[in-house]
Amino acid sequence: MKAIVQHRYGPPDVLRLREVDTPTPGDDEVLVRVRASSVNAYDWHAVRGDPYLARLSFGLRRPAAMVRGQDFAGQVEAVGRAVTRFSPGDEVYGEAGPAGGAFAEYLCVAENLVEMKPANLSFEQAAAVPLAGTTALVCLRDAAGLRAGQHVLINGASGGVGTFAVQLAKAYGAQVTAVCRTRNVDLVRSLGADHVVDYTREDFTRTGCRYEVLLDLVGNRSLSDLRRVLTPDGSLLLSGGGVFSGGSVFGPMGLLLRGPIVARFVRHRIVAPSARAGRGHLVTLREMAESGRLTPVIDRTYRLGEVPEAIRYVETEHARAKVVVTV
């Protein structure tokens, strides 16, 4: 099969399209014929091994996983002996887990990381959902306990996680203020944002507004700036749009490390949730997509052999929403 292979850390150019052996599913695994995948901040950090702290999980001297890619949507090709929920031909979606492998024609993945694809979504749309959708869901529903009537601000509302966060917050009945750049104002309004702050024209930390929940997906403001816009008992959720966004201890990583320490001494809740898709999250996202409350937004689509260009675009060009790879 064809797959995007990585043997060393570096820029996206280290990735190569190669022929590799088609994997064989273990007893509790599903072999998926991948029809589409998507690019996340996680992917370019894994390619670069950046920040260095991340190499504790990516592999110290070289990548532990040879094939990159997290999100997938496709058709079940074969199942292991212990698999009971899926049969060949089922249309599914999910997240590959720490081992990766979704930038390939076939992928073996644990049964509990797979769910039936939302019936109303294409493979490309479904592949855009798992990691980004789960991150937004874990932050807003699980960590913040978002409730109807609360005011939530989303910094980075036009990105992969942000576009899902706006829709989820509205689905849970919140009043949503979205922060984005000028060219994305219409996009986030179309997703349901009640108020939009164009950060090129206005500083959201100086408007005088207060929010019960602030989801920061950018990591470009200090903790004191972010806390300034919270109500006295408000919650600050630090995500960076996934894992290690920004790649610098002075940016998002610094917030992720300092936040839990500062939280011990202040009234505000400061949380850096860890988001990994599991079956429960995938079921919730599927149900919300099928009910029309959640619609993936796709910025660009690339072919499998163009994954290096797709990752470079996400890393350097301020991609809107999701970038998808068709296989």
Residue 257 pLDDT:
61
9-13, 193-197, 259-263 — most confident range: 193-197
Q: Read off the pLDDT of residues 143-158 as tens digits, 9 standing for 90 and up.
A: 999 999 999 999 999 9
CB of 300 closer than 8 Å to CB of 323: yes
* pLDDT of 254 over the 90 cut: no
**Helices 130-137, 279-290: crossing angle, 10 deg rounding:** 100
**How would residue 256 be classed by pLDDT, with cut points 50, 70 and 90?**
low
Q: How many CB atoms lie within 10 A of CB 93?
A: 29
Higher per-residue confidence, 51 vs 265: 51
* pLDDT of 264 over the 80 cut: no
Residue 247 pLDDT:
36
Q: Average pLDDT for residues 243-261, to the nearest whole number?
A: 51
Q: How many CB atoms lie within 10 A of CB 66?
A: 17
Task: Detail the DSSP E strand segments found in the chain.
Answer: 2-5, 16-19, 29-39, 71-79, 91-95, 106-110, 114-116, 151-155, 175-180, 195-198, 211-216, 230-238, 269-271, 298-303, 322-326
* pLDDT of 38 over the 80 cut: yes
* Length of the chain in terms of residues written: 327
| CATH class as words, domain 131-271 | alpha beta
Give the homologous superfamily in CATH for domain 2-129+296-326.
Answer: Medium-chain alcohol dehydrogenases, catalytic domain (3.90.180.10)
Q: How many CA atoms lie within 13 A of 12 on its CB side?
A: 17
**How would residue 103 be classed by pLDDT, with cut points 50, 70 and 90?**
very high
List the chain domain ranges. Answer: 2-129+296-326, 131-271
Residue 265 pLDDT:
57
Q: Which residues neighbour 127 within 8 Å (Cβ) at sequence distance 6 or greater?
A: 35, 36, 37, 38, 71, 72, 73, 93, 324, 325
**How would residue 272 be classed by pLDDT, with cut points 50, 70 and 90?**
confident
**How would residue 243 be classed by pLDDT, with cut points 50, 70 and 90?**
very low
Q: Read off the pLDDT of residues 204-236 as tens digits, 9 standing for 90 and up.
A: 999 999 999 999 999 888 888 999 999 999 999
Q: Read off the pLDDT of residues 286-324 as tens digits, 9 standing for 90 and up.
A: 999 999 999 999 999 999 999 999 999 998 877 889 999
Q: How many whole angstroms separate alpha carbon 170 and alpha carbon 162?
A: 12
Higher per-residue confidence, 93 vs 319: 93
CB of 216 closer than 8 Å to CB of 236: yes
Residue 161 pLDDT:
95
Residue 312 pLDDT:
94
* pLDDT of 245 over the 70 cut: no
∠ CA 84-88-92, rounded to 5°: 80
Mean pLDDT rounded to a whole number for the chain? 90
Check for a shared fold between 2-129+296-326 and 131-271: no
**How would residue 249 be classed by pLDDT, with cut points 50, 70 and 90?**
very low
| pTM, to two decimals | 0.91
∠ CA 197-165-50, rounded to 5°: 95
Residue 183 pLDDT:
95
Residue 115 pLDDT:
97
Residue 252 pLDDT:
57
Residue 170 pLDDT:
98
Distances (CA, A) of 22 to 2, 6, 78, 109: 9, 16, 12, 13
Residue 59 pLDDT:
75
